[in-house]
A and B are shown apart, each in its own frame.
Chain A
């Protein structure tokens, strides 16, 4: 952990429930993520991965500890400031895409473009994501891979500093998963945004700069990967 970390997490704790039924989901987590890193977070179901992501996204408050992103301590922010933080700094990519079903592919991307003073040009992005031909279709009219591309476009269009990806390939087949991973790699390279990818797919560690592993709410692995492999070359 260094002072130049883009993301710094110190002694983070989060529990759900009260009294005897209280379950500590994250226990004293401390970690730092450098700007521009692709950071992958592993862990079995119930290990606290999603909670970690939610806290990082300012979607839930921590019980204790601090989360600092780009110099801003999220735990000290009001709800309103947290909205500003998400608006300015964050992009989300979900396992099941979470596209608005009654908006077209283009409109789904525009939903977040609307939030930014200087969004990426939507038309360029649609071309780059290979969605230009599908821009007027609705999510249920395109494949899962295309939906996930759209979700990535939606996250990317407002030029976020931090991209949080929750199982981005979890609902996709092998070939499409690889395409999405290549796209994420390209996005990281081209736009320089920091990525935190939550996944069960152990192979993704090879394309990541930084590997974290949670088990029962505890951080059991925090390693840098000195031999990053291009996404197109990883197999599973």
Chain B
């Protein structure tokens, strides 16, 4: 053991604040980041296991009407022997008798599953009788429902007997077009087949889930297979309304993408913080070396090698770094991981949590931080110990940079010059301080701006819903109808919802009805279906038809594709404020930003169902930064998408209306109201609120520790000068004014100066981080958020300033009286 090593315990006692600070910095980082990464990786592995054990579907499709056995057999054959299972569902309103949920709720009913997408029960069991139901765990939690509670679904009272999760709904995404999952107003469920038949009625969605015979197909191989399946179905006169690969199904990819994105962000954050910590280690050890330069000079003059001194000065940082990492790993694994996994369990419908051991996470949270810390510290110490023995003996190490020796204008006041000298002397500390503050402020600002941003985007999205109600239809449905047409429409509605066996499929019935409308009966000139309900003259006068189709576009900052709705609207539309005359095509500014398109550019849109690509020349950008639509005239729409419209300029598939419309429900694909957009806000507030709290929990103490360590060193380095000043007759408060104010000015300047840098970085974080999410989320920060963030960081500093003032008071006069050679 080197004789120098004997001073290490004394060094620790003497500088306990410094080493405690270093310990806390590394400990907090490893515990929080490591705990989070452990949780994230466990969730990923858990999902992988669950996907295998639950026979999660490889792809799924939805048909307009129930597919015939022949069509399904053909599809199965075209799909290389895919096993295709009926997985019909129906969305039905759910209420709780005697209990106001505070919002409308929809339950997606499924029959108890046995072969595919098998449910996993957290608690309870699968329904066994027709008056039982099993609901999603998270929905039950968010709505304070328990086993044994009674809910009313489609007018029938059902008792909750199971709390389950479905593997095809890891995230409760009701529609793949939804911007966000919804764990508050939407739930999946299982009921007995008989209960399903009784409850679903006309709302049944003919949904089929499939397992490919080769489950290890590449995404490309699976896409090809699914195209073959689609063609086979179309060949058998089955109209597909949706075809979704599991990798394109947001309900199944949302969690994975989220965990992956979060992990990448936390990894970057961890590397940044550990890097900053490394520089703090260097600065503090460098300060020790400066303080002990005479001793170092003596040791070098006595024959000590520099590498022996490097080893000596590395010892404490290494001990502290390793101890903090070990403690961080233990606390991270035992405490933080559960808290972090809880964040995911607040958002997603996952199977019960189980901690997995992952070697790469273990290495990333133990070996990597220690290696980074030691490497940075080693390089810093080696650099600091480069000086000659004589330079050490003469105290000529470290503090005499060119800037520190700069001449300052003599006409400046003494106090200004003194404060600037404090800054110049400690410039290297303040650079690290700036970086530390910048990273902490970045994280704090991110956490602070997230919820206001979500609310802002939510309100923009609400405003972007151009009418009080946007109805999308499965087929053109005329609402301006005569009494005769109304009667036909009503009959058609009854036929389509009838449970009376007719021997004919609903699709066949519809075809017959259409035929009768065109040739014999009181048909519509357009050949469109008549509505089965009467709407008022006022409603009819303001309702406006539109066309729409959903295609895909390449995202600028992600390999994935954005679902884009192309609208065909009236040229003189009362709802859409876009100029689509003369074949002009406009894009929303959000889409332009997200997909790198805009005025004068060509937007490529891909129809995955028809394997067709459209190239649209963009004339203008419209709307705000969340507008993700493409707009053209209905006529242009009909021509462009003639496969869909048969080039019929009268074709449409939706109504925009400020007044609610009564429509034949069997032909309504969906309804959107402005308030639907606020669900995104509610959901994000529910699921992300705790994440942001967690982030603040890390960043505030970390900021305080970084600022404390670096500013304390400034005081420590100046302790002799402070002692001189006290001897000369300076009061403590006067010393404070010189030193604390210099530091305060630097901290405030750092806080303010780093904001533009942070905003720039956050822009990239949002572009890349949110790049794989549906929709555009431009960075938007309220001015008050800047003030709040700076205020929070400053509050952390204020505590540190008080500690530093206390430290200045503790500088003893005898410090000035020590012989200094």
Residues of chain A having any CB pair with chain B under 8 Å = 50, 54, 57, 59-60, 80, 83-88, 90, 92, 94-96, 98, 100-104, 106-107, 110-115, 136, 138, 140, 154, 158, 166, 171
Additional pairs, 9, CB under 8 Å, beyond known A96-B821, A112-B728: A50-B817, A54-B814, A83-B726, A84-B729, A94-B817, A102-B425, A111-B728, A112-B729, A140-B394
Report the Cα distance A158→B725, complex, angstroms: 13
Establish whether residues B729 and A115, one from each chain, have CB atoms under 8 Å apart when the complex forms. Answer: yes
**8 A-B pairs closest in CB distance:** A87-B729, A86-B729, A102-B425, A110-B414, A100-B721, A59-B813, A96-B820, A112-B728
Q: Known contacts being A54-B817, A83-B726, A96-B820, is A102 close to B414, with CB within 8 Å?
A: no
Query: Please, which residues of chain A bring their CB within 8 A of the CB of B731?
Result: 80, 83
B413-430 Cβ-contact flags toward A at 8 Å (1 or 0) = 011011001001100000
Q: Is B609 an interface residue (CB 8 A)?
A: no
Given A59-B813, A102-B399, A107-B421 in contact, is the A96-B730 Cβ separation under 8 Å? no
What residues of chain A lie closer than 8 Å to B206, measured between beta carbons?
Answer: none
CB pair B417–A107 under 8 Å, yes or no, is yes
Is the beta-carbon distance between B727 and A86 smaller than 8 angstroms?
Answer: yes
Would you call B819 an interface residue if the criterion is a C-beta within 8 Å of the partner chain's C-beta atoms? yes
- Min Cβ gap A224→B in Å is 29
| Chain A residues within 8 Å of B782, by CB | none
Contact B817 A103 (CB under 8 A): no
Residues of A close to B417: CB separation below 8 A: 107
Could you pull out 12 A-B pairs where Cβ atoms are within 8 angstroms?
A57-B727, A59-B814, A83-B729, A83-B730, A83-B731, A86-B729, A88-B729, A90-B729, A96-B821, A98-B816, A111-B724, A140-B394
Which residue in chain A gives the minimum CB-CB distance to B394?
A140
Bound together, the chains give a CA A54 to CA B725 distance in angstroms of 15
Q: Report Cα–Cα, A50/B726, bound state, in Å.
A: 18
CA–CA, A88 and B731, complex, Å: 12
Does B682 touch A at the CB level, under 8 Å? no
Interface residue? B410 (CB, 8 A): yes
Report the stretch among B381-389, B400-408, B538-546, B570-578 that lies at the interface.
B400-408
- Please tell me if B396 contacts chain A, counting CB pairs below 8 Å: yes
A94 to B816, CA, bound (A): 9
Q: Which residues of the other chain, B, contact A80 by a CB distance below 8 angstroms?
A: 731
Which residues of the other chain, A, contact B725 by a CB distance below 8 angstroms?
111
Shortest Cβ distance from residue A92 to the other chain B in the assembled complex, whole angstroms: 6
B729 touches A98 (CB 8 A): no
Nearest B residue (CB) for A112: B728
Contact call B727/A100, Cβ cutoff below 8 A: no
- Cβ–Cβ contact B410 & A106, under 8 A: yes
Query: How distant is the Cα of A148 from the Cα of B727 in the complex, in angstroms?
Result: 17
Q: Is the CB of A136 within 8 A of B407?
A: yes
Complex Cα distance, B415 from A110, in Å, reads 9
Contact B424 A107 (CB under 8 A): no
Kindly report which residue of chain A lies nearest to residue B424, judged by CB atoms.
Answer: A102
B residues with CB within 8 A of A: 394-396, 399-400, 404-405, 407, 410, 414-415, 417-418, 421, 424-425, 720-721, 724-731, 813-814, 816-817, 819-821
Question: What residue in chain B is nearest A116 (Cβ atoms)?
Answer: B729
Bound CA span A96–B731, Å: 24
- In the bound complex, residues from chain A placing their C-beta under 8 Å from that of B729 are 83-88, 90, 112, 115, 158
Question: Which residue from chain A places its CB closest to the CB of B727 in the assembled complex?
Answer: A92
Q: In the complex, A151→B415 CA distance in Å?
A: 19
CA A110 to CA B727, docked complex, whole Å: 15
CB distance from A40 to the nearest CB of B (A): 19
Bound Cα distance from A107 to B738, whole angstroms: 14
* Complex: A114 Cα to B734 Cα, angstroms: 11
Q: How far is the CA of A230 from the CA of B218 in the complex (A)?
A: 102
Q: In the complex, what residues of B have CB within 8 A of residue A115's CB?
A: 728-730
Say yes or no: B421 contacts A98, CB within 8 Å.
no
A158 to B417, CA, bound (A): 19
Residue of B with least CB distance to A135: B410
On whether the beta carbons of B820 and A103 are closer than 8 Å, the reply is: no
Interchain nearest-CB distance for B242 vs A (Å): 72
On whether the beta carbons of A96 and B819 are closer than 8 Å, the reply is yes
**Cβ of B421 and Cβ of A103 under 8 Å apart?**
yes
B41, chain A: closest CB distance, angstroms = 50
Query: Are A86 and B728 neighbours in the complex by a CB distance under 8 Å?
Result: yes
**Pair B728/A138 contact, Cβ less than 8 Å:** no
Q: Which residues of A contact B399 (CB under 8 A)?
A: 101-102
A50 to B819, CA, bound (A): 11
- Between B407, B424, B721, B816, the greatest number of chain A beta carbons within 10 A of the residue's beta carbon is seen for B721
Residues A95 and B421 in contact, CB atoms below 8 Å apart:
no
Distance in angstroms between the alpha carbons of A90 and B729 in the assembled complex: 8
**Which residues of A have CB within 8 Å of B421?**
102-103, 107
Q: Which residues of the other chain, B, contact A166 by a CB distance below 8 angstroms?
A: 817
Per the bound structure, the CA–CA distance linking A54 and B816 in Å amounts to 11
- Chain A nearest CB from B343 CB (Å) reads 49
B728 adjacent to A92 (CB under 8 Å): yes
Given contacts A59-B813, A95-B819, A140-B400, contact A103 B727 (CB under 8 A): no
In the complex formed, the residue of A with least CB distance to B728 is: A112
A131 to B425, CA, bound (A): 23
> A54-B817, A59-B814, A83-B731 are contacts. A98–B414 as well, Cβ < 8 Å?
no
Q: Which residue among B395, B404, B720, B729 has the maximum number of chain A CB atoms within 10 Å of its CB?
A: B729
CA of A111 to CA of B816, assembled, Å: 15
- Chain B residue at minimal CB-CB distance from A167: B819
Q: Whose C-beta in chain A lies nearest to the C-beta of B720?
A: A98
Name the A residues within 8 Å of B720 (CB-CB).
98
Which B residue sits closest to A115, measured CB to CB?
B729
Q: Which residues of chain B have C-beta atoms less than 8 A from A103's C-beta?
A: 418, 421
Q: How far is the CA of A189 from the CA of B407 in the complex (A)?
A: 34
Cα(A73)–Cα(B510), bound, Å: 112
Cα(A28)–Cα(B33), bound, Å: 65
For the complex, what is the distance from the CA of A98 to the CA of B723, rounded to whole Å? 10
Complex alpha-carbon distance, A20 and B820, angstroms:
31
Write the chain A residue with the least CB distance to B721: A100
Chain B residues lying within 8 Å of A111, measured Cβ to Cβ, are 414, 418, 724-725, 728
Residues of B within 8 A of A84 (CB): 729
- Complex Cα–Cα for A158 and B414 (A): 15
A102 to B817, CA, bound (A): 19
Q: A86-B729, A113-B414, A140-B400 are in contact. Are A100 and B724 (CB under 8 A)?
A: yes
- Give the residues in chain B near A112, CB-CB below 8 Å: 728-729
- Contact (Cβ within 8 A) B727 A59: yes
A104 to B420, CA, bound (A): 12
CB distance from A115 to the nearest CB of B (A): 5
A54 to B726, CA, bound (A): 13
Contact B820 A114 (CB under 8 A): no
State the CA gap A54–B396 with chains docked (Å): 29
Across-interface contacts of A171 in B (CB, < 8 A): 821
Q: Are A114 and B414 in contact, CB atoms less than 8 angstroms apart?
A: yes
**Other-chain contact of B820, A60, A98, A102, A113 (Cβ < 8 Å):** A98
Tell me which residues across on chain A come within 8 A of B396, comparing CB atoms.
140
Q: What CA separation (Å) do A124 and B725 show in the bound complex?
A: 23
> How many Å from the CB of B430 to the closest CB on chain A?
14
Residues of A near B726 (CB, < 8 A) are 83
Q: How far is the CA of A87 from the CA of B819 in the complex (A)?
A: 22
Distance, CA A160 to CA B726, complexed state (A)? 15
| A86 contacts across to B, CB distance below 8 A | 727-729
Distance between Cα atoms of A95 and B819 in the complex (Å): 8
Closest to A84 in B: B729
Q: Give every chain A residue within 8 A of B425 (Cβ-Cβ).
A: 102
CB of B4 to closest CB in A, whole Å: 27
Chain B contacts for A101, CB-based, 8 A: 395, 399, 721
Report the nearest A residue to B422, measured CB to CB: A102
- Nearest Cβ in chain A — how far from B112, in angstroms? 79
A85 and B726 alpha carbons, distance in the complex (Å): 11
**Knowing A59-B813, A102-B424, A102-B425 touch, does A107 contact B414 (C-beta < 8 A)?**
yes
Q: Determine the distance from Cα of A117 to Cα of B405 in the docked complex, in whole angstroms.
A: 29
Closest CB-CB distance, A180 to chain B, in whole Å? 17
Give Cα A86–Cα B724 distance, bound, in whole angstroms: 12
Complex Cα distance A112/B725, Å? 8
Beta-carbon nearest neighbor of A80 in chain B: B731
In the bound complex, what is the Cα–Cα distance between A94 and B724 (angstroms)? 11
